[in-house]
């Protein structure tokens, strides 16, 4: 089916009213960098890629209002020019699917709830979305939240829309919190720790007053610690860490130009080759036992968020990974897989029936006619509210 590319927020509203009238299901798309996530489907795509532009940016207020289709890369360049950043460290999924980066839009990363290694201390997309304008499945434009960093007026719909995967409405404009970019970012590394030792070192570091802002384990076995801030503070904390973690082995400071690539590989799963790529969110204390169970399946893996996020690539028989994650109190999202597998295994980890039913009722509250219920997210679209 063909794509529709609205040129204005009003167009988005009209396009959804059309779909509603026609009884057609639609997929909201940003850059389409994550289009390969979820089951194959043939639907009308409404692309937000032309709804672009910065509406308001006042660095001193720490807020940025933009239209949803604005490329992530453009926003990152803009805030970098003011020595600020999006502290949830969104990343572009294009490369995971062997595509060029640069397609991801701010609306897409927010709607997909994407966050990088800094998430463990700085929060995710959900924690940085302050407010938005969207068109619901009723083809009604509404606003939620606000444009200031502190606000509890009304239900916090921003949390709900971050990570909603385009299933509640099309975000046309959004306000995010921005934060100062740290002056200095240092990376310390310990080589050769097995999973258990690595997790223990990361837990000690994250629980220490050295204020580590991220901790990950690279697929090659290097455990990484990030220390950010003003120079005197970074130096003091870098001096502290080897003492705190002495028992785990020698610590080495990594050259910043090398460090970026290491963090990208550890934090986004991009360097894990294999047909099937999973992203597991788990209680970090259970990570060693999960790794022990997925290694025999041939999994290549990396850890992020102090062990709370596992990227795992496997070649075949993917189903056990999800069961292993669940048995350990965690969840597994199917990021990359052949289309037959995506037709049978849902991208998102299934929820218990009570929560699934509540989610379905919430979706109907925004989308009464199931406009956004494509076959992309298997097993969810049939759960209908009463």
Residues 10-39 that bind other proteins (CB under 8 A): 11, 14-15, 17-18, 20-24
Q: Which of residues 232-291 bind ligand FAD (CB under 6 A)?
A: 269, 279
Which of 13, 33, 228, 287 binds ligand FAD (CB under 6 A)? It is 33
Q: What is the token pair recorded at 51?
A: 């709804």
Q: Is 308 in the site for other proteins (CB under 8 A)?
A: yes
Query: From the CB of 62, what's the least distance to other proteins, in Å?
Result: 7
Q: Which of residues 51-70 bind ligand FAD (CB under 6 A)?
A: 68
Q: Is 377 in the site for ligand FAD (CB under 6 A)?
A: no
Q: Which residue has the tokens 């100062």?
A: 180
The count of chain residues that interact with ligand FAD, using the rule CB under 6 A, is 33
Which of 13, 87, 111, 299 binds ligand FAD (CB under 6 A)? It is 111
Query: From the CB of 299, what's the least distance to ligand FAD, in Å?
Result: 16
Q: Is 126 in the site for other proteins (CB under 8 A)?
A: yes
Distance of alpha carbon 249 from alpha carbon 215, whole angstroms: 16
Chain CA centroid to CA 312, Å: 16
Q: What is the token pair recorded at 209?
A: 């007053």
Please name every residue paired with 342 in a beta bridge, in sequence order, or none if there are none.
none
Q: Which stretch binds other proteins (CB under 8 A): 47-55, 260-268, 270-278, 283-291?
A: 283-291
- E-strand stretches of the chain: 3-4, 26-29, 44-47, 54-58, 63-67, 84-85, 129-136, 141-145, 169-177, 179-180, 184-190, 214-217, 223-229, 252-254, 276-281, 300-304, 309-314, 331-336
With contact defined as beta carbons under 8 Å apart, do 145 and 131 qualify? yes
Cα dihedral 165, 170, 175, 179, rounded to 10, equals 20
Which of 216, 254, 272, 282 binds other proteins (CB under 8 A)? It is 282
Q: Which of residues 70-89 bind ligand FAD (CB under 6 A)?
A: none
Please name every residue paired with 217 in a beta bridge, in sequence order, or none if there are none.
223, 303
Q: Is 253 in the site for other proteins (CB under 8 A)?
A: no
Q: Is 114 in the site for ligand FAD (CB under 6 A)?
A: yes
Q: Is 113 in the site for ligand FAD (CB under 6 A)?
A: yes
3-state SS, one letter per residue, for 156-224: CHHHHHCCCCCCCEEEEEEEEECEECCCEEEEEEECCCCHHHHHHHHHHHHCCCCCCCEEEECCCCCEE
Q: Is 208 in the site for other proteins (CB under 8 A)?
A: yes
Q: Is 351 in the site for other proteins (CB under 8 A)?
A: yes
Binding site for ligand FAD (CB under 6 A): 27-35, 37, 48, 68, 92-93, 96-97, 103-105, 107-109, 111-114, 165-166, 170-171, 269, 279, 335
């Amino acid at each position: 089916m063909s794509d529709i590319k609205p040129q204005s927020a009003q167009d988005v509203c009209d396009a959804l009213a059309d779909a509603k009238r026609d009884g057609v299901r639609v997929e909201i798309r940003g850059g389409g960098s994550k289009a390969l996530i979820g089951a194959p489907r043939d639907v009308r795509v409404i692309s937000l890629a032309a709804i672009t532009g910065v509406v308001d940016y006042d660095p001193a207020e720490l807020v940025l209002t933009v239209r949803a289709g604005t490329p992530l890369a453009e926003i990152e360049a803009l805030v970098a020019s003011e020595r600020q950043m999006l502290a949830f460290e969104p990343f572009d999924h294009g490369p995971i699917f062997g595509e060029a980066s640069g397609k991801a839009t701010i609306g897409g990363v927010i709607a997909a709830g994407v966050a990088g290694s800094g998430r463990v201390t700085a929060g995710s997309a959900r924690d940085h979305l302050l407010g938005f304008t969207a068109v619901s499945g009723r083809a009604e434009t509404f606003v939620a939240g606000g444009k200031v960093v502190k606000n509890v007026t009304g239900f916090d719909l921003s949390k709900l829309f971050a990570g909603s995967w385009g299933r509640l409405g099309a975000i046309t404009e959004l306000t995010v919190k921005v934060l100062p970019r740290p002056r200095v970012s240092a990376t310390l590394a310990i080589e050769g720790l097995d999973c258990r030792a690595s997790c223990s070192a990361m837990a000690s570091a994250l629980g220490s007053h050295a204020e580590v802002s991220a901790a990950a384990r690279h697929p090659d076995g290097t455990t990484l610690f990030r220390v950010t801030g003003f120079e005197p503070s970074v130096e003091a904390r870098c001096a502290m860490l080897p003492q705190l973690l002495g028992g785990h082995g020698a610590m080495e400071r990594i050259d910043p130009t090398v460090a970026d690539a290491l963090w990208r590989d550890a934090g986004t799963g991009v360097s894990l080759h294999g047909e099937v790529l999973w992203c597991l969110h788990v209680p970090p204390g259970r990570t060693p036992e999960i790794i022990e169970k997925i290694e025999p399946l041939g999994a290549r893996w990396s850890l992020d968020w102090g062990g709370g996020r596992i990227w795992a690539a496997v070649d075949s028989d993917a189903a056990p990974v999800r069961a292993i994650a669940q048995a350990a109190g965690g969840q597994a999202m199917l990021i990359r897989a052949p289309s037959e597998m995506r037709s049978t295994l849902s991208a998102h980890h299934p929820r218990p029936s009570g929560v699934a039913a509540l989610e379905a009722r919430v979706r109907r509250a925004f989308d009464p006619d199931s406009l956004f219920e494509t076959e992309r997210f298997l097993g969810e679209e049939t759960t209908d509210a009463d």
